[in-house]
Amino acid sequence: MLANASFEAMVVRVIVIAVFLLVAFPIHEFSHALAAYRLGDSTARLFGRLTLNPIVHFDPIGGSLLAITLLLGSGLAFGWAKPTPVNPRNLQGGRWGEAIVAAAGPISNLVLAVVAALPLRYMLAAGMDLPLVEEALALLVSINLLLMVFNLIPVPPLDGGAVLFAFLPPQTAWQLRPILAQYGLVILILLIFPIFGGTSLLGEIITSVVGPLYSLLTGL
């Protein structure tokens, strides 16, 4: 019985890794590339990134780290796709154009979450007994909500950093940008690092947002 439970848990982790690497990450990065292209920057297209091909968006270090942390089941999953190259100088709209390109990735994850939630809600309301399909759709919803919320944290190099700078007064953004660019990764590591009770501040923040959104979309 214990062996079966361990095997099922491992299968779920493999499915989660596949959803990240084959669906959520590629669509997220493709959305950045498409938004940049529509706003006048062809950099991502020239680098072959204007595609949904997951191989093109795969980052060896980020993808491997994601797989390892998920397979270990430590409760701390961390990884990334290959960043989409964008030249802000080519974008229409200045810093607002940069913010639109940055926000396109998280928005795509929200759209994916909604698309997966609709059939899930229907199946639950109709009383359909398809547990594997329901679990797969639920994973799609939760993973994409997780990516959306995480990437909207207003700290570079995450997408939320560019969105934050667009809403700040120009002088404040100009002063804050080099500071956050230099220490943003350190801030993220501190937020991710587990503290009291084995949880992290970032984990608490994300859970407090993803949980209600998941319930709103799925009705669970």
**All residues at 6 or more sequence positions from 29 whose CB lies less than 8 Å from its CB, including other chains:** 49, 57, 81, 82, 83, 84, 105
Q: Are 82 and 25 in contact (CB under 8 A)?
A: no
79/65 Cα distance (integer angstroms): 5
- 10 Å CB burial of residue 74 (0-12, 13-18, 19+) is exposed
98 catalytic per annotation: no
User: Could you tell me how many residues make up the chain?
Assistant: 220
Annotated active-site residue in 29, 98, 134, 204: 29
- Identify the residue whose tokens are 């979450």: 113
Which positions are catalytic? Answer: 29
